Structure 1
Amino acid sequence: MTDHTVRLDHVVLWVTDPVAAARFYQESVGLEPVRVGEFAAGRVSFPSVRVNEETILDLAPYGLAPRMDMLPGSADSAGHPVNHVCLSLSPAGFDALRARLAAHGVPMTDVGHGSFGARGSATGTFYFRDPDGNVIEARHYT
């Protein structure tokens, strides 16, 4: 049987220092780093962090932006940040992320309620920035 479900594979975040960004996402957010050693050794163009078994965040250095020419005109939008990326967690994972971010001194918004997303209205949601200014939303549903 063929699975025709669309899934999110990756999002590219533009960062100044991909190794430092990977460390932030590992230590402060709890995501698994991918290909950091290969990037540091110059064998790959960027590292990533794993959100889950199907989705990663690519941590692309700004210097890569001029080479993002997969479509005519696509280099013009390279290097521009997205508005934000939202991570959906379990309620326990949500609380653990807030605690981990607080322990690392990462500023966060207060917890909001009822924000609409892919699964309806979230029970809790908050926002924080990574060291490069990328905005990350965290949420949970009941």
Structure 2
Amino acid sequence: MRNNTTRLDHVVLWVADPVAAAAFYETAVGLTPVRVAEFAEGKAAFPSVRVNEDTILDLAPHRFADQMRMLPGSADSAGHPVNHVCLSLPAEAFDALRARLEEHGVPVSGIDHGLSGARGNATRSFYFRDPDGNIFEARHYDD
């Protein structure tokens, strides 16, 4: 990891059940859980799942909304998922993710081609929703 570039550190998702959400992201999406046992034991405020060595998704329980005081109106964000979060994967991992989601009965969209993103136009992409209604796009680029 290099400390001389700007990068995405984390995205906080509101979830009804952080342990169940972590299980979904581990089994259906293939992400690595972080602090799930500690959360279940009351030793961590929330669990996370690791996207890569630089980025995690924090799984914040809705009950934390009243504790969001960093800016006026922050508590109002509970239950309002972002438009979508996009995961960029190598082609093989893209195919594996789609197959794993389908095996877990997670509805997925059709395949789109050429959608614009951080690295230009993606070769393929599709969308899926987590159990809390957060929408994800999965894509890959030809490198």
TM range (shorter): over 0.9
The separation in 1 between residues aligned to 2:55 and 2:37, in whole angstroms, is: 20
Paired positions, count: 141
Where in structure 2 are the equivalents of 1:1-142 lying within 5 Å?
A: 3-142=3-142
Structure 1 runs of 4+ with >3 Å offset: none
The one-letter amino acid paired with 1:135 is I
TM-score, normalised via structure 2 length: 0.94
- Give the secondary structure class of the aligned counterpart of 1:63: helix
The one-letter amino acid paired with 2:132 is D
Is the Cα–Cα contact under 8 Å of residues 125 and 139 in structure 1 kept in the other structure? yes
Is the Cα–Cα contact under 8 Å of residues 68 and 78 in structure 1 kept in the other structure? no
The superposition leaves residues 55-107 of structure 1 with CA deviations (integer Å, 9 ceiling, x where unpaired) of 00000000011101112332233442101100000000000001111111110
Is the Cα–Cα contact under 8 Å of residues 84 and 135 in structure 1 kept in the other structure? yes
Structure 1: gaps spanning 5 or more residues: none
TM-score, normalised via structure 1 length: 0.95
The superposition leaves residues 2-59 of structure 1 with CA deviations (integer Å, 9 ceiling, x where unpaired) of 9431110000011000000000000000000000001001111110000000000000
Structure 2: gaps spanning 5 or more residues: none
Q: CA RMSD in A?
A: 1.2
